[in-house]
Structure 1
Amino acid sequence: MRTGRIERKTAETAIEVEVNLDGTGTYAVSTGIGFLDHMVEQFSRHSLIDVTMKVEGDLHVDQHHTTEDSAIALGQALGQALGDKGGVGRYGQAYSPMDETLARVALDISGRPYLVWRAGFSQMRLGEWDTELIEHWFHSVAQAAGITLHVELLYGSNNHHICEAIYKGFARAMRQAVEIDPRKGGTVPSTKGMLGG
């Protein structure tokens, strides 16, 4: 079983995250931000990566620290579970439609974190979650997990659909990338013999 567990405690947040890359998409998520919970649950269900996430953050200040630190912890847990990345597919991509919206997500578990974000929102909040934090969430996950991540909104108008299509696309791309390819015989998918650096 490829699992990761991270406990992260600062003056701003206390976080526990567990992931199982070989799961079934079960989840227990509590961040204190309802819409963020919903998106992490979507990620788990559609990636088939089991996710347990418990966050206590300084929401009396704002949502920034909770959003950022939960993403960092999730990324670290994913990186821990991937280990040396031997045998993984490495690359993943998905077109994700939701009603009038279409998003495209492509990623490489390269060990070289990078985010290209070509999406946006026309309203300031989804539920109580500040939409400006959504890009930051993906940036933090990519940095912590060592993922090259490209997110693009091809078209769409409903902000809920846009966000959900992006998260589901990310989930489907991650599912492809983390799955073990038996033809690789456990080797690291790089001519360098390692990923990162």
Structure 2
Amino acid sequence: MRKAEVIRNTSETKIKLNLTVDGTGKQTIKTGVGFLDHMLELFVRHGRFDLELICDGDIEVDAHHTTEDIAIALGRAFSESLAERRGIKRYGSMLLPMDEALVMTAVDISGRGMAVVELTIPSEKIGQQFDTELVEEFFIAFARELGATIHLHQIAGKNSHHIVEACFKGFGRALGEAVAINQQAPDEIPSTKGTIN
């Protein structure tokens, strides 16, 4: 099974996570930021990954370090789990509706880390702690650590919670598709270069 454990300790956060790529959506997530917990639970469930995650972060300041550092640790865990990327489909996409919101998500596990996030989120904050500008920070950090191109494009939506929820659900499904094993070429690295790095 494709698994990884990541421990990341800094002066701002202490993170321990265990990831199973080929899971069923089981999760134990405690970040100290309720909305972030909710989004990660949706991501895991829709991607059918298993995740145990505990973060002790400086949320008395704000949720920035916690959100970014979790994305770093989670992207690193996926990178370690996929090793040389042998057999993966590499690409995944999802057009996900969440009530009035509609978000297109596309992923390429290319070895080149970048995120293009085009969202118009009406509110600056969701819940007590989560600044909506952290959505982009999360996906930038995740993309960089995994070595993936991630696109998130909002097509419709007025409710901030629904827009962000569509992002995380759609990303879970798109990434689940990208990391799935291609049964037609289960031993091949999906690149004409013969390597993804």
> Normalising TM by the smaller chain, what interval?
over 0.9
Q: How far is the alpha carbon of 1:136 from its aligned partner?
A: 0.4
> 2:49 corresponds to which residue?
49
Unaligned runs of 5+ in 2: none
Percent of residue pairs bearing the same amino acid type: 45
Residue equivalent to 1:176? 177
Q: How many residues align?
A: 196
Structure 1 residue 131 displacement after superposition? 0.7
Q: Which residue of 2 aligns with 1:187?
A: 188
What secondary structure is seen at the aligned counterpart in 1 of 2:184? helix
| Inter-partner Cα distance in structure 2 for 1:120 and 1:72 | 24
TM-score w.r.t. the length of structure 1 is: 0.98
Counterpart of 1:30, as a letter, is: K
Pairing 1:1-197 to 2, within 5 Å after superposition: 1-128=1-128, 129-196=130-197
Mapped partners of 1:19, 1:83: distance in 2: 14
Structure 1 residues 56-65 or 96-105, which shifts more?
56-65
* Structure 2 CA distance for aligned equivalents of residues 18 and 185 of structure 1: 25
Unaligned residue ranges in structure 1 (runs of 5+) = none
Q: Distance in 1 between matches of 2:118 and 2:193?
A: 31
State the alpha-carbon separation in 1 of the partners of residues 120 and 67 from structure 2.
Answer: 17
How far did 1:100 drift? Answer: 0.7
Q: CA deviation at 1:185?
A: 3.1
Q: Which runs of 4+ in 1 moved over 4 A?
A: none
Q: Which moved more, 1:87-96 or 1:121-130?
A: 121-130
Q: Give 1:23's aligned amino acid.
A: G
AA in 2 matched with 1:133: L
Of stretches 119-128 and 165-174 in structure 1, the one that deviates more from structure 2 is 119-128
Encode CA deviations 1:35-62: one digit per residue, 9 max, x unaligned.
Answer: 0000000000000011111000011222
Between 1:119-128 and 1:186-195, the stretch displaced more is 119-128
